[in-house]
Structure 1
Amino acid sequence: MFVLNRVLFAGSIIVPESTSLTACHFSAVHRRTCPRRNSPYSSVDSERYSSLVKSVMSSRVSSQTPETLQAEDDHVYGPVVKAQMPSRTEQRLPKTLHPFINSERTVETEEPEAGPPARILLNRGKSRPFIPSVTRILQQTLSPEQIFYLERWKRRMIAELGEEGFKEYSQNIFKQGKLFHSALEDILTSADTWRNKNLSETPQCPPEAQGYIQSISHVLEDVSAVRAIESSVQHGSLNYLGIVDCVARYRGVLCIIDWKTSEKPKPFLSNTYDNPVQVAAYAGALNSDGNYKYQVENGLIVVAYKDGSPAHAHQINSELMSEYWKTWLIRLEDYREQKSSASSSMSPEK
């Protein structure tokens, strides 16, 4: 006989609490006439498990509702903290938004008469005050993530090549880049047109740069009206300078053109890391520099490959340039704060 302490539902029969039922209530109505089979549980030691069966059958069924269970859980474990949707971090803005465009200059609607590209040399005399370059500022304001990946790459290269091997590798990369820029400068300043497919075979192109020149040959077909090559630019009020690779029209749009070399493909603008910020910094400096009578609102980053495979050309329109200009202003502020903190720590205590 089993004793049920709570209300049970057996089909459509409601059994009240503490009602005693005999086993016959749960027996089948019709008895089979076929030979009885041995139950697989007949060999179970019922005495051994009788206490377990009694404890299970005599346990009370909770009458709590979902609300009371929730209250009990809150009391024991504390209230449930629901995960919130991640909110977008507010974009950091520069403290002072210096203008990207020089309002005192008018935008050229027509191309001026053709002439030799400008090349203003950088003058760093001892008597002149130190002015940081765009490259220096960007290198000293790298994010922790950028520093981590850069150091990891360096350690991996040293482990593979050794200290001397890595040093030689870095020197070769620098040499190849310099030869590439020199050969490109000769091509762009040449009186002959460069729109042909045999640029890498020109006499002034060294063997180390032939692959890179061949790589950018299809880009050069869309370059015209070169205004400046390897020319320095300086922002008077923000006090920084840089050297622009090229200022020319690409597919009819006047651009700051930055020529880059890479061993790995960089098919997307995001693969070029801080290069768009660098281009925006150059454009802002040029627009402020009195040596240039025009303004540049667009940019172009060309990534050339040593094996001669087609270079990737990443255009940066005026809207994107404005955003990268804001990023540059933030990096410039960070650089100045670093310099200020360093100066304060080096000054003698009063």
Structure 2
Amino acid sequence: MLVVKRVVRFAGTAGPRCADLSVSHLSACHRLPSPKRHSPYSSVDSDRYSSLVKSVMSSRVSSQTPENLQAEDEHVYGPVVKGPAPSSGAATRVPKTLHPFLHPPETLEAEEPETGPLTRIVLNREGRSSVPSVTRVLQQTLSKEQIFYLERWKRRMIAELGEDGFKQYSQNLFKQGKLFHSAVEDILASGGTSQSRNASEASEHPLEVQGYLESISHVLEDVTAVRATESTVHHDALNYLGILDCVARYRGVLCVIDWKTSEKPKPFLSNTYDNPIQVAAYAGALNNDSNYKYQVENGLIVVAYKDGSPAHAHQLSAELMLHYWKTWLIRLEEFIEKRSSHASSAFEQKGFGV
């Protein structure tokens, strides 16, 4: 029979002792329990420790309480303004009526001859005084967030420049923008670029716009087949109008081009705020205006800088133009709703006055 030797430690003995166990009796053997380990907390005065914990937890003498921290934050940063959570309805809103961006009966850009006189339809308000412009619609349908930042910027500029200084600043910006657009129109009408003009020709333009023209010089190199400059467009069905800056090919693609000036860099399309909506509105009006015998599906926003640094050119693909066209339709609906509401209120007040 196989014999297994096992070492068994007996309490009170100095050393191990061997016992012969047969395999048949192995299952009957039980392991002796190990001695209980000594706890390091056994010597702690539990009553005293419990009193110490209760004292710390119930203490209110510390200055770092939530109430004091909130009061300190309000003193340093101002009171916390809790606004309502943004509603998801604005992001998912769609136009009530989805008017087409393109006008099917008209020919597409590829079928239109590239040569011919430039189109420049001067704005005529006679009989159309009630027709809103694209700029007016966008200004009167700004979001609360846009209005907040615009007003904050205005207050900061007035605090820095004063009322008269801010007024003069705004007038200078408007003047520079007008001179810049006029200079660009002259360059495009002459069929050249700013780099191809010699020093005497360049000096014909005011000093205020020299930096802007230098800024867009690399963009003008890719502008060809100019068809319209500073020309009025009118949407016959939606009844709004605007004056677009330019219609030309940019790197071979026919675009509605919008020239912008800025004191700060705008390297991303999101930095241009409502400008893409404006370009889409102009293109949609052109596509539905009988004065223009072609269709434009793309757009371009060029941001020029006074210091002459290279302008940023933001291209709007046909897909992006359709996206901003839908946004424009929503803004136009908001404008019409506000105008109808104001007209109703004025009518009611007039009736009560009578």
TM-score tier after normalising by the smaller chain length: 0.7 to 0.9
CA–CA distance in structure 1, aligned partners of residues 172 and 118 of structure 2: 29
CA distance change for structure 1 residues 226 and 52 in 2, over 3 Å: closer, same or farther? closer
Tell me if 1:120 matches 2:125: no
| SS, match of residue 165 in structure 1 | helix
> Displacement of 1:199 after TM fit?
7.0
Q: Which runs of 5+ in 2 are unaligned?
A: 1-32, 53-85
> Displacement of 1:128 after TM fit?
3.8
| SS, match of residue 167 in structure 1 | helix
CA distance change for structure 1 residues 91 and 128 in 2, over 3 Å: closer, same or farther? closer
> Which residue number corresponds to residue 271 of structure 1?
271
String of CA shifts for 1:202-254, please: whole Å, max 9, x gaps. Answer: 14321110000000000000000000000000001101000010000000100
String of CA shifts for 1:36-89, please: whole Å, max 9, x gaps. Answer: xxxxx99x9x79849979xxxxxxxxxxxxxxxxxxxxxxxxxxxxxxxx9976
| SS, match of residue 109 in structure 2 | coil
For 2:232, give the aligned amino acid.
Answer: S
> Displacement of 1:92 after TM fit?
1.1
CA distance change for structure 1 residues 27 and 143 in 2, over 3 Å: closer, same or farther? closer
> Which residue number corresponds to residue 157 of structure 2?
157
Q: Which runs of 5+ in 1 are unaligned?
A: 1-11, 14-24, 29-40, 54-85
For 1:280, give the aligned amino acid.
Answer: A
| SS, match of residue 92 in structure 2 | coil
CA–CA distance in structure 2, aligned partners of residues 181 and 109 of structure 1: 27
> Displacement of 1:111 after TM fit?
5.0
CA–CA distance in structure 2, aligned partners of residues 291 and 244 of structure 1: 14
CA–CA distance in structure 1, aligned partners of residues 299 and 257 of structure 2: 6
Contact 2:158 2:165 in 1 (8 A): yes
Tell me if 1:291 matches 2:285: no
For 1:337, give the aligned amino acid.
Answer: E
> Which residue number corresponds to residue 103 of structure 1?
104
> Which residue number corresponds to residue 300 of structure 1?
300
For 2:321, give the aligned amino acid.
Answer: M
More helix per residue: 1 or 2?
Answer: 2
> Displacement of 1:103 after TM fit?
1.0
> Displacement of 1:109 after TM fit?
2.2
String of CA shifts for 1:134-192, please: whole Å, max 9, x gaps. Answer: 0000000000000000000000000111101100100111111111011111111115x
> Which residue number corresponds to residue 95 of structure 2?
94
> Which residue number corresponds to residue 332 of structure 1?
332
CA–CA distance in structure 2, aligned partners of residues 282 and 157 of structure 1: 31
> Which residue number corresponds to residue 211 of structure 1?
211
> Which residue number corresponds to residue 173 of structure 1?
173
CA distance change for structure 1 residues 47 and 299 in 2, over 3 Å: closer, same or farther? closer
CA–CA distance in structure 1, aligned partners of residues 197 and 121 of structure 2: 30
String of CA shifts for 1:65-123, please: whole Å, max 9, x gaps. Answer: xxxxxxxxxxxxxxxxxxxxx99766210000000000111213245151221100110
CA–CA distance in structure 2, aligned partners of residues 298 and 198 of structure 1: 29
CA–CA distance in structure 2, aligned partners of residues 154 and 208 of structure 1: 23
CA RMSD after TM alignment: 2.9
Tell me if 1:194 matches 2:212: no
CA–CA distance in structure 1, aligned partners of residues 49 and 172 of structure 2: 85
String of CA shifts for 1:14-57, please: whole Å, max 9, x gaps. Answer: xxxxxxxxxxx9686xxxxxxxxxxxx99x9x79849979xxxx
For 1:99, give the aligned amino acid.
Answer: P
TM-score (norm 2): 0.73
CA–CA distance in structure 2, aligned partners of residues 184 and 171 of structure 1: 20
| SS, match of residue 109 in structure 1 | helix
CA–CA distance in structure 2, aligned partners of residues 241 and 50 of structure 1: 82
Contact 2:262 2:306 in 1 (8 A): yes
